[in-house]
Structure 1
Amino acid sequence: MARKFVIASMLHETNTFSPLPTPIGAFGPGGPLRGEQAIAELADTNYGIGGFIGLAREAGAEFVVPLAANANPSGLVTREAYEEMAGAILDAVRRGCDAVMLDLHGAMVCEHLDDGEGELLARVRALAPGLPIAVALDFHAQMTQQMVDNATVITGYRTYPHVDMRLTGERAGRTLLRALAGEVRPRTLWGRRPILSSTLSHTPSRNPMKDIMDRAIAAEAAGAVLNASVFGGFPQADIPHLGLSAVVVVDLAKAEGEKQGIALRDSLLDQAWDRREDFMYRGEPLADSIARARQMTEGPVILVDHGDNTASGGTQDVMSVLEEVVKQQLDDVVAGPFCDPQAVARMIEAGIGANVSIEVGGRVDMPALNLKGKPMRLDGKVRAITDGEFTVTGPMATGARIRMGRTAVLDTGRVQVVVSEGRSEPFDLGVFTHCGIDPRRKRYVLIKSRQHFRAGFEPIARQIVECQGLGVTASDIALFDYKRRPTPLYPFEKDAQPC
């Protein structure tokens, strides 16, 4: 008989400083996808769940997808949302299966739980104690003992921007299939170092992380271990399990397999600890960044507002960087998307070609940083109105359908401002091309992102300028009041010791 798998995704990176709540409706268009709809929309995408579905089909297995839930990073997941999603997955497991494949983030924090993924895995394990469970995690996962104790296999993204999401699911799934066939006996090992690394400094595409991740990749490719992953962690969460971690899956059927895995894990973590100072971010004043960009004669110059990044929990309506761009009179700029349903409604009401004077952005206060929303008055002509939908063609989340909500373009003369009803990080050129703007032909492109923009925009960039705008994803960790973080934790405790 064909094996039966339960395949699901439950993805959320929680910024506990974000003022935006995360209810069930945030986890997809009208809520999570389920069943055949989830399969149809996600099977061929560059997501971990797409990799799991492909492997199940390749193996000739029966499978069900009770839930495919993916929300933009934001504040705490509501209790009701979490229990509904976890319940759907548990109900499918309860009906019987041979294995479970879960595409999770690893940094979900809920109103009632610090470790959403660990709790889900513990519940699955309690329901089916011997059930093989494969888990794919984001590079920014906050690893816990509960996750490791209740999963059979864990793999993590090796890239940031995350262009290997499907591959990560395939890595976890292939190890699980080998275990089901009796070829290997996997065991997951993990460790952590007390480093709160910056998301602008820990991408595996560059050092200090690059050759650490390269060593993990090489060990897995050589068969020294079944899987090896390094996790940078996510700094915008005030929880007790922050840190940089490594996970190694070893084969207990292999002589010295566990010993070799422990040695690899500790070596990777020791190397990261030795470089802890290099994982910190040091920027420049916003005015200086824009002044520097003003001297760049060839575009596109990508202006990256990393203080208000949707994919880290930002509100996407902070106007500080655009204000500085206008103040310093940069010309031939496209900026956005900014999230402001009220401004979009005003422009739609006025219609294409209408001249309007409206306030944009600044609708959301950020109490965690004592920041009040500050709208920006803009005068211009409505150039375009769209439904805000497009399909990703770039290397990150390829094939996924993006739904920004209704979107409008306001042309102020110097700047074309893209405004949408919903939040969406600009990692694909489609955020602009779908509304008739070619960013490759602009001198300046102002976007709200940290690293994911590099997937679609780095190939067209002549220059990249990081801009320290305001917001709950600011890279200066001194702005945040951590009350529940672990101690010691570098850089807060400079004399922290590896653990």
Structure 2
Amino acid sequence: MKFVIALMRHETNTFSPIPTVLGDFRRGTGNGPAYGEAARQACEGTKNAATAYLDMAREMGAEVDFAMYANAVPSGVVAREAFEHLCDAVVRSASQGCDAILLDLHGAMVADGYPDAEGELLRRLRACTPPGLPIGVALDFHANFSSELIRNATVIAGYCTYPHVDIYETGARVARSIRARLEGRSQPVLLWRRLPMLTHMLRQTPAMQPMKDIMDRAMQAERDGEVCNASVFGGFPLSDIPYAGLSVVIAAERGRLDAGQRLLDELCDLAWSRRADFVFPSEPVPQAIAHAKTLEQGPVLLIDHGDNCGAGGVTDIMDVLEEMLRQGLEDVVAGPFWDPATVATLFERGVGAEVTVDVGGKTDMPALGLKGRPLRLTGVVERLTDGEYTVTGPMFTGVRQSLGRTAVLRVGTVLVFICERPQEPYDTGVFTHAGVDPAQSRYVLLKSRQHFRAGFGPFARHVVLVSGPGVCSSDYDLFPFKHLSRPMYPLDADATPAHADGWAPACA
């Protein structure tokens, strides 16, 4: 028996000014994807979904062709040549023959010419393989769906958590269902529906309402065997494509489609009835910082969610740090901010040098009419590092990461981390690799949205959400949507639930 395994992940913010090229698809460190044995080695020992596929292959004594390991930080539209290269690598392996294809994808990739990049990949795989070949797909909680993706998959399962701390477990769910299919114990059929609602990402997490008991119900139905797999996807709202929105995907046994349809209806009805609860109200930045000053016990996490590279932000907008300095907050760890030019300057000056530099603000965001505005800082170069660390927290555990060269600038009692590569701080390694323990600071400024809770949540005394500017803003009225399906709540108050789209894929 032979399995083709591939990891290809990118969450595309179509409003981001940062293009995504092949070299951005890294495996934690280095540039570009890994292939074959190098891809397997990059995956082994980590908490990726593809690692669960490897474990199943070992249990079944199956040969593995690990076609590719390619993971990029969220950013702008993927270049056509990069997408074609990635697809070709997977299709080439699949076309050489196998018994199943196991994919570790994101579900919100947009490539030049392909608004549903994952759907296009599956279409190509289905075209080059025998009818009925099982294709299992693990997807991010923020996946968007088209009929192409649903039609060409055998089994789909999505992360049940946000922060995503069940990535390996999601792969195990896919592997379990594909194994049952291979052994003739299951005949799954995919049922799905996409609702016309753009949920705010700060209201999506299944750890709390309004999503919590919706996801709990889906997970319980899967555990009880009511259906093969049940997944609720918050969707990625910052992609201007026709497929954005909250979706529910059910893998039901061919002989029990009624049970799958009932569950689909129940979950969608519950989500739609709570649509107003998925809206996040923003407040002005000065007001949020002033509130943080009133909190007596630290660490206080200040979350600058409008400029989060984990959702495609540029990570060099300085407004929130500027306001913190203006209001006199002390004992602060802040960052990491993306600014390769300033990093180069600080490395040239060296540790201990007193410098005045213009940090950040190097990137314009024309989609939102925002101009880059650097922040002039005067301080001392505290530390210089290679920016590399291994994730020890619960999200992407074991993955080797790189911020590129990283400099720590001390401005009074504020430590500002500046790096060559953008990285959302979901793990404390972004700071501890430089010998700085954020748990000992009064305030910690992070460019994140929810993932910070994985590594920083356990020691935070308070969390203050700061609605800074950027292409990850929760104010959807700022975005010039052109391709989104309309009407769409909350942009359109008169939106109504879409009719269910159901598919019985040819592979089922």
Asked if Structure 1 and Structure 2 have the same fold, meaning a TM-score greater than 0.5 normalized by the shorter chain, the answer is yes
> Offset at 1:17?
0.1
Partner of 1:209: 211
Distance 2:79 2:296 in 1: 48
> Offset at 1:130?
2.2
Distance 1:421 1:18 in 2: 18
Secondary structure in 1 aligned to 2:291? Answer: helix
Partner of 1:184: 186
Partner of 1:350: 349
Distance 1:346 1:280 in 2: 42
Partner of 1:6: 4
- State the Cα deviation string for residues 234-280 of structure 1 (Å, max 9, x = none): 1111111121110000111x4xx100000101110010000000011
Distance 1:485 1:460 in 2: 39
User: How does 1:306-317 map onto structure 2 within 5 Å?
Assistant: 306-317=305-316
What is the TM-score of this pair, normalised by structure 2?
0.97
Structure 2: any 5+ residue segments left out of the alignment?
Answer: 499-508
Partner of 2:390: 391
CA contact (8 A) 1:43 1:51 kept: no
Partner of 1:138: 140
- State the Cα deviation string for residues 289-321 of structure 1 (Å, max 9, x = none): 000001112110000000000110000100010
- State the Cα deviation string for residues 395-419 of structure 1 (Å, max 9, x = none): 0000001111000100011210000
User: How does 1:412-427 map onto structure 2 within 5 Å?
Assistant: 412-427=411-426
Distance 1:58 1:316 in 2: 42
- Does 2:109 correspond to 1:104? no
Secondary structure in 2 aligned to 1:282? Answer: coil
Secondary structure in 1 aligned to 2:223? Answer: helix
- State the Cα deviation string for residues 436-468 of structure 1 (Å, max 9, x = none): 111010000000000000001110100000001
> Offset at 1:492?
1.5
> Offset at 1:144?
1.2
Partner of 1:17: 15
> Offset at 1:122?
0.7
Secondary structure in 2 aligned to 1:224? Answer: coil
Distance 1:373 1:493 in 2: 31
> Offset at 1:331?
0.3
Distance 2:212 2:96 in 1: 43
Q: Which moved more, 1:36-45 or 1:318-327?
A: 36-45
Distance 1:355 1:58 in 2: 58
Structure 1: any 5+ residue segments left out of the alignment?
Answer: none
Distance 1:130 1:291 in 2: 60
User: How does 1:331-342 map onto structure 2 within 5 Å?
Assistant: 331-342=330-341
> Offset at 1:154?
0.2
CA contact (8 A) 1:38 1:65 kept: yes
Distance 2:347 2:205 in 1: 40
CA contact (8 A) 2:476 2:491 kept: no
- The number of aligned residues is 494
Partner of 1:263: 262
User: How does 1:396-435 map onto structure 2 within 5 Å?
Assistant: 396-435=395-434
Match of 1:222 among 221, 224, 229: 224
- State the Cα deviation string for residues 341-393 of structure 1 (Å, max 9, x = none): 11111111111111111111001110001111001000111110000000000
Partner of 1:67: 68
Q: Report the AA paired with residue 42 of structure 1.
A: C
> Offset at 1:41?
1.6
> Offset at 1:49?
1.2
Partner of 2:504: none
Distance 1:401 1:492 in 2: 40
Secondary structure in 2 aligned to 1:455? Answer: helix
Distance 1:297 1:132 in 2: 56
Partner of 2:154: 152
- Does 2:435 correspond to 1:436? yes
> Offset at 1:208?
0.4
Secondary structure in 2 aligned to 1:338? Answer: strand
Match of 1:26 among 24, 27, 37: 24
- Does 2:78 correspond to 1:80? no
CA contact (8 A) 2:42 2:69 kept: no
Secondary structure in 2 aligned to 1:229? Answer: strand
Match of 2:249 among 247, 250, 262: 247
Please give the root-mean-square deviation of Cα atoms over the aligned residues, in Å: 0.7
Return structure 1 stretches of 4+ with deviation > 6 angstroms: none
> Offset at 1:50?
1.4
Q: Report the AA paired with residue 477 of structure 2.
A: A
Distance 1:492 1:303 in 2: 28
Secondary structure in 2 aligned to 1:38? Answer: helix
Partner of 1:461: 460
> Offset at 1:284?
1.2
User: How does 1:269-288 map onto structure 2 within 5 Å?
Assistant: 269-288=268-287
Distance 2:279 2:295 in 1: 27
Distance 2:78 2:455 in 1: 29
Partner of 2:376: 377
Secondary structure in 2 aligned to 1:65? Answer: strand
CA contact (8 A) 1:43 1:54 kept: no
CA contact (8 A) 2:342 2:358 kept: yes
Distance 1:170 1:61 in 2: 16
Distance 1:463 1:491 in 2: 29
Distance 2:340 2:496 in 1: 48
Secondary structure in 2 aligned to 1:67? Answer: strand
CA contact (8 A) 1:308 1:318 kept: yes
Distance 1:65 1:404 in 2: 26
Secondary structure in 1 aligned to 2:249? Answer: strand
Q: Report the AA paired with residue 52 of structure 1.
A: Y
Partner of 1:301: 300
Distance 2:485 2:4 in 1: 35
Q: Report the AA paired with residue 83 of structure 2.
A: Y
Q: Report the AA paired with residue 455 of structure 2.
A: G
What is the TM-score of this pair, normalised by structure 1?
0.98
User: How does 1:123-134 map onto structure 2 within 5 Å?
Assistant: 123-128=124-129, 129-134=131-136
Distance 2:342 2:296 in 1: 32
Partner of 1:35: 36
Distance 1:438 1:484 in 2: 44
